[in-house]
Structure formats: C-alpha cells, structure tokens
Structure 1
Amino acid sequence: MSARLSVDVAIIGGGLVGSSAALALRGMGFSVALLDKGFCGAQASGVNYGGVRRQGRPVEQLPLSQRAHAVWPRLKALIGIDGEFLRSGHLKLARNEADMASLEAYAETVAEQGLDLELIGHNGLRERFGWIGDGVVGASFCAGDGHANPRLVSTGFAAAARRAGVEVLENTAVAGVTRNGEGFALEAAGNLALRARFVINSAGAWAGPFAAGFGEPVPLSRIYPSMVVTEPMEPVMTVNIGMEGGGIYARQVERGNVVVGGERALPLADADFSRPRGDGAIAIMNNAAALFPGLRHAQAIRFWSGTEGAMPDRNPVIGPSGTTPGLIHAFGFTGAGFQIAPGVGEVLAELVRDGETQTPIAAFSIDRFRDVARTDAGSGAGQNQEPQNAGELRP
C-alpha cells in the first residue's frame, strides 16, 4: 500500500528548528508536513546542554538571537509548557588576562546589540559568586540569558505543531526529493508520496545530502558533544556558566541536578550515533570539581551524547537555496542552535510566506560555501571532521 499527501510546506527534520517553523507556518494558515527519520526532538535538539544564551555568539547571529530572546518567555503560551526556562543570567569566566581582554573586546563590539553585558573583575566575582573556585580572573555577565530543559522544549514544539494541525510523521525517513513542476515530490518511508510547494531542509547533521542533491554541497561535519548530570544537590550555582575560549560549561536546575559539559563523545561505527568517552566524563567531573568546590563530592548519575551538524565558520546555513526556487535551508548550528531555534522557525515561516525576512540572515547564505564545498569534495574531506576555530561549541 502507498499513501499520498499534498501540503503547502514539507519540512525535513523534526528538531527544534523544523518543529518551530512548522508551528509558525500553521499560525500563518499553511498546510504543513513535518517528517523525521526517528522521533521529533530526539537528536541534537533534545540532548544538548540546554543553554539559552546570546552572549558569546558571533556578531552576525545577534539579531536572530535577539529575536529568539523575545520568544523564550512566551513558551507557555506558545507550546503549553515553560520548558523549565529560567532567566538565570549567563556568566562567562576568564581564566587569565588574555581571556579577560577577549571578553572586554567582545563587550565593546556588541555594545549596541542590546545584550547589556557587565564586566566583573576578580574582587567583584568573589563577592557576588563566591561559590566559584580559584583560578578565575574575571567574567562577563549577561543577566537576560538563562537555560531550559531541551528534552521538554524540543518535544513540546513538535507536540504543539501537531495540535495546531501539522502532519507530524515520525519514523518517516525521506529517501528522495525532486523538483516537480511548481513544487516538489518527496519519497519517504512507508511508501509515502508527498507533494509540496515548498521544502525546508532542517535535517541537522543529515542535511548535507539534501543540499547536495540540488547542486549545493557544503562542508558539513559532525560533532558529538558529551554531557554529565549529577544527583540532586543543595544550591551550588545560581547562573548558567561558560568559559571564554571554550572548556567547561555548567548549570543547575531547580530540582538540584547539575548539568556539566565540555568534552566530545566517540562516534560509533554508524556515525549517526556516539557514546560518551570514559576519560572524557572523568575530565568533565574533575574540571567541574576544581572550578566549583561545591561539586567535589557530587555523584554523577547519567552521561549522554548527541550528534550535531557543524560548519567550519561556526555559523549555520539559513535561507533560500541558490539553485532551486521553493527550497529553504536551515542546518549546521554547530552546537549553538538551541537558543536561536525559535527565532529561526519564525524566519523560515516568513521566507515561505513573503519570500524575505526583516531579520538579517545574509551571513548564513549557503552560497558562501560554493567554492569551499567543491574543493572539499575534490579532496575527499570527510563528514566527521571537526570545524576549525569552532570556539565554544555548545548550546
């Protein structure tokens, strides 16, 4: 038996970007099918660290990040749950004077972007955040940033999209997409034949073949961030923590568990999957205990990792295809897509409805990799290479 479905928009990939776009499009009156090869929100969107931060992002991402910043406080009204979103503030630590100088330079660069960063010296840090250990010379604080539960938020958007009337098709891998007249023909698992006027490629680490199929190969690689969570504890930290230049990041949830990351997992034989490294998990715990004395006797109760698509310049691909009308890309968030995803979803919906958006996205055009991708293809560059100069790869 085969099934046929016709919609205005087909979205490949049910992560937070795809599901938020589906919800926004339904709000505009479009018929939408959201397809995922597994379960919506089960990949990077649902297993990331959960940081909801603007601080530290490349400057070109900040208009989009600010747009998403306005969505997070409205989660309950938008998807029916608050996703444990907490505007705790984000404190980025400097381990030495060079790191502090970098934080100062960034604060000056983004001074007009509305982040309201506060630079804090060593003495001020000790007075206000005495639970941080030695070896830190200062920090930059963004009071409006925070954190949330990715497992709740990612599935919450997909559930809200389903309630709004989106055809949510899980365990439905897309086998092929072709341009067909005024729209697209998609072949998917279960002998599903789907027609759509628009296609959004938000397939995360699996988005590369769909782009290449329309003559737009990109140097998309895979990274495998790894996290540790502790037992519930008395309050240890009051803010979401990051480190200038990369390294450990940590947050404590209202139940008392502390989530800590900063290492990479190992890909398995099937590169779609990974597992935490034993030495990596130990390194995360030792680094956390050294930086936060209150964690020295904490018991780690769970470890996990996930698969994320990464681009070499740390910026995602967002925007219309350069080769195919009606095709829109949104992938390659390099471990930093959680906060901006709701804003990206709104932008994608506007691109479908209006053909444009007022939020600046030119820096994310897929055309910027046109020559690079061809060079990489000729040299046999692999899908599992780490992005260069990726900095602090985290949500």
Structure 2
Amino acid sequence: MTKTLEPVVTADDLPTAADVVIIGGGIVGVTAALALAERNISVLLLEKGHIAGEQSSRNLGWIRKTSRHAHDVPLAQAADRLWAAMPERIGRSVGYRQAGIMFVARTEAQMAFYEDWYKSVETLNLDSKLLTPGDIDRLVPGGKGNWVGGIHTPSDGYAEPSVTTSAIANAAMKRGATLVQNCAVRTLSMSAGRVSGVVTEKGEVRCSQVLLAGGAWSRRFLGNLGVSLPTLPLICSVLRTQPMEGPTDTALGAPDFSFRKHQDGGFIITQRGKLDAPVTLDHLLIGHRYLDQLRTQRSFLKIGFGRAFFKDLALPRRWKADSESPFEKVRTNDPAPNAGLNQDALNNLKAAWPAFEAAKVEEAWAGLLDVTPDSNPVIDHIESIPGLTIATGFSGHGFGTGPAAGQLAADLVAGVEPIIDPAPYRFSRF
C-alpha cells in the first residue's frame, strides 16, 4: 500500500448487538457506515485487517464519468455531488479537485471508441468534449506524442486515497458508528430463515441486517454461504514520483500510461495498457463467463501461472463458524508491484511529455481488483439470504463512485428511497 496511508484508531471491544453490521473497511463500507449513522441507525463495521488496507488506498484516486457505461454514469454523477460536499460533511479536505480527466488516442480505432462513448451519453448532460490534436497541445503543453485526438471531461477529477477512507471512517465514528479492526467475520447467523447476526473470530454479534462490502474477499465469503458471485482478480501496479513540475493538473490517460497530480506535488503513474492477471482456481471455475472480455482485452492482460495459484488454493473455500477462516489467515491482500510495468509506464510517459524526464520515483505499490464479467459492481439484496445486502465487484472503479455506492448500499439496507436507480447493479443479471 502507499506509505502515506493515514491510520485509524478504532474500538477494541466488540458490542453484542447492532442494527446493521458492515463487513469490510474500504471506502464503500465506511461511507455506508457514515450514511447509516447519520440516520441514527446503530451500525457496527468490522474489518479483518485495517481500514483502507487494500484497494481503497491503492487505487489511482481518479473520479470519472468518462468512459463509464451509460447506465453507470448516474452513480458517478451522484458521486460528484457527494465528493463536492465531503469537506463540510466530514470536517476536512480529502484532496478532491475537479481538475478534469482527459483520454488521448494514438490510432483512429482508439479515437472511434471515444467517439462512440460520447454519442452513447449525449442525453446525460455531461460536459465531455471531443479533442483535436491541437486541443491536446493547448491543454497539456510540451508534448511530443502523435495523438489523433481525445476526449476531455472538465468536471471529472481526483482525490487522495491515502486520506479519504480514513477521514470518512473517523467521521462515521463521530456520528456514532462503531468500527473494529483486526476482527474477521467468519459467517452469518441465521434464525427463522433470515440473518440474525454475524459470527466473528472474537464472538457473535446480533443484528437484523448485514452489508457485505468485502472487495476481492466477497466471492469467498459468499461461496461459503452457497452463493456464487462471479469475480476474478487483476493486479494494478502504481508508482508515485517526488514533487516535480508537470505539464498539467488534469489527469490524463493514454493507451500505455496514465498520470495525475498528487497533493504533495508529485505524480501518480501507472501502465494503463497492462494489468497482471494471476491465474487462480476461480479462473477454471468461472472463467467461461469472461470470454467476451478476454476476446477484446487479451493484449491488455499479463496472464501468469505461479505462486498466486497455490497461495489461493491453500486458503479454504468451506469452513465452519468455529474454525479459523481464510480472512484470519490473510489479513491484507498485499501483492508486490510489477517493477517492469511501472518502468514501462514511466518510459512511455517521458517519450510523450519530456517534462517527466525529471521524475524521481518516491514509492511503488500494487492493488488487487475484483472484476465482474461486465465490469460493473453488484449493489443489491441477496434474495436467498434475507437480511444480507452486498456492495462489491467494483472492477477498479470503486474509489471514484465510492461515496455514492456506499450511500446506495445504505439506502437499500435502510429501506429508503435510493440515491439513484439500483437496477444496473442487481445481482440477478448474473
């Protein structure tokens, strides 16, 4: 994880009961905790490791509507409003800036993708604009890339993952939510055919509602309950430079690199054209659901078979409430960054914008994404287990929409009018 992650001090004692128990201390879980606490609903959030220890602190910090599926844009628009109101809501800044996001294309085929997306969202009142090569040179000066065009959404932006989830967690506790770290939830308790509590490594907690926001761990947790959630892992490697002069404050994505300004004056950089895809048993079990993605994105993935397969295989897929769970065996997914991909990204960026020749790497890290077959999350009740709601499978988009996704999950749990139409995120689509 990034070494700048702000730690959170939480409770040590486990309460015996709460109205709602949330499993998972990422941005979606802590935002849901805050939303429920604001409604004076008794809420307990349990995190097996530490708050924001996985993807919520390891992502790029981008907050975008650009290139999202049209039916996913309303969630991103709702998130924009919540990001803008965040400082007043939680009492501090999280580095949110609407500095814009730009994507640039090297080929006519790449440009056609952005043109098709632009047409697909024409009725959604976005401020996105298609760019000419001259527009790119004007907005991001000093470049030497041969771009055929691009797309720019000025109202997109970014925030700082190293502080955001921690700050929301602290705000949730101030509003009355209880958060406990280093406490894994092993399974659910059931009574009369519905959820009546959770069984943790430290004892049982009674509740009437559970929200599972466990990220990449959600598939394994649900599998032990007989529910199959289709998600597969991908690993994104990231680097951060020391403070330096850069060509723009706008975040920019090219086919083989991306960058955005960090609050300390450096830049967050990744190889946008490659992700590591470690093969696990789940690829054999549900890989057929991803054939369409594989056909279009095979060159995008570095598929590898090795230690990750056997480490995953060693973790149990079935366990009892009184036995050690996989969430106690591995508190935090902490994949090693791919130095080759990071260096490739930096080399590509230097060739396109020579200002980055001055870049000096401050740190590098990697994060594990949980990807669904359609790259959209599930935010829905589980009909076969009354009292269980899930918000997971964000496919690398969870930070940007996190405030709205957490709010939507809290709305579903509380049974109130949802912040947006939840239909695109129903579990039944799988």
SS at match of 1:224: strand
**Partner of residue 305 from structure 1, selected from 346, 359, 366:** 366
The equivalences for 1:1-395 within 5 A come to: 5-181=16-192, 183-189=195-201, 191-243=202-254, 246-262=255-271, 263-264=274-275, 269=308, 270=311, 272-354=333-415, 357=418, 359-369=420-430
Structure 1 unaligned segments of length 5 or more: list them. 370-395
Structure 1 length as normaliser, TM-score?
A: 0.88
SS at match of 1:5: coil
- Matched residues in 2 for 1:225 and 1:286: separation? 17
**8 A Cα contact 1:14 1:35, kept in partner:** yes
- Matched residues in 2 for 1:320 and 1:227: separation? 34
Describe the superposition over 1:20-75 as per-residue Cα deviations: whole angstroms up to 9, x where unpaired. Answer: 00000011110000011111111100111111111111112111111111011111
Q: Runs ≥4 in structure 1, deviation > 4 angstroms?
A: 265-271
Higher helix share: 2
Tell me: CA distance 1:358–1:128, structure 2 relative to 1, closer, same or farther (3 Å).
closer
Shift of 1:282: 1.4
- Matched residues in 2 for 1:218 and 1:266: separation? 18
CA RMSD of aligned residues (A): 1.8
Give the residue type in structure 2 aligned to 1:187: V
Structure 2 unaligned segments of length 5 or more: list them. 1-12, 279-306, 313-332
**8 A Cα contact 1:265 1:305, kept in partner:** no
- Matched residues in 2 for 1:256 and 1:177: separation? 45
Give the residue type in structure 2 aligned to 1:336: H
Describe the superposition over 1:115-135 as per-residue Cα deviations: whole angstroms up to 9, x where unpaired. Answer: 221111112222332233322
Shift of 1:254: 4.1
- Matched residues in 2 for 1:254 and 1:150: separation? 11
**8 A Cα contact 1:68 1:340, kept in partner:** yes
Shift of 1:275: 0.3
- Matched residues in 1 for 2:41 and 2:49: separation? 24
Shift of 1:358: 5.3
SS at match of 1:334: coil
Shift of 1:316: 0.7
Tell me: CA distance 1:4–1:192, structure 2 relative to 1, closer, same or farther (3 Å).
farther
- Which moved further from structure 2: 145-154 or 272-281? 272-281
- Matched residues in 1 for 2:147 and 2:185: separation? 49
Give the residue type in structure 2 aligned to 1:339: G
Structure 2 length as normaliser, TM-score?
A: 0.81
Shift of 1:265: 5.4
Describe the superposition over 1:318-356 as per-residue Cα deviations: whole angstroms up to 9, x where unpaired. Answer: 111121222111001111111111001111121122265
- Alignment: residue pair count: 365
SS at match of 2:186: strand
SS at match of 2:405: helix
Tell me: CA distance 1:358–1:147, structure 2 relative to 1, closer, same or farther (3 Å).
closer
SS at match of 1:210: helix
